[in-house]
Amino acid sequence: MMPLLQGIIVMATAPSALESRRVTRDIVSFRAALDGPGGMRTAVLVVDISPLGFMSRTEAALTPGDVVAVNLPVIGPRAARVIWSLGGRVGGEFLEFIPGDLYARMLARAPYDRPAISDF
């Protein structure tokens, strides 16, 4: 237990995921094909991305440790390891980072796909 502050007990907690990120993520919204384990192919809606990883919305049953390939604008298929999966959202870490110049071109050419109300 930590000291009492104005009648409220403050407890030490782990840093939030945002605080522990190595790179800031860019908010995006584009659909992409994702190839997963066992020859599975599905569509995802990528909602944020960085040179190191991404978060997407999907109905696919992916689990941490799965290796997938997400088809990114300009770049094409990019291998990633699923780090977490929860409630229709999946976070992946690219097996190789995306170099800055290529990443900038991808962002510049990425479409903005508005999700339909029925999506995910």
We report the CATH number of the domain holding residue 42 as 2.40.10.220
Report d(CA 27, CA 6) in Å as an integer: 38
Number of structural domains, the chain?
1
The boundaries of the domain holding residue 92 are: 25-109
Mean per-residue pLDDT for 19-43? 87
Domain assignment present for 43? yes
pLDDT of amino acid 40: 93
In angstroms, the CA 49 to CA 26 distance is 5
Domain contains 7 = no
Alpha-carbon gap, residue 100 to 67, rounded angstroms: 23
- pTM across the whole model: 0.76
Burial of 116 (0-12, 13-18, 19+ CB in 10 A): exposed
Structure tokens given for 65: 């440790």
Does the residue 73 lie in any domain? yes
pLDDT band of 113, cuts 50, 70, 90: confident
pLDDT of amino acid 119:
53
- Give the residue from 48, 44, 65 showing the smallest Cα distance to 120: 44
Q: What is the mean pLDDT of residues 90-98?
A: 96
Q: Is residue 114 part of a domain?
A: no
| 120 vs 117: CA distance, rounded Å | 8
The answer to whether residue 8 is domain-embedded is: no
Nearest to 32 by CA among 23, 22, 20, 41: 41
Q: How many residues does the chain have?
A: 120
7-23 confidence digits (pLDDT tens): 444 333 333 444 455 77
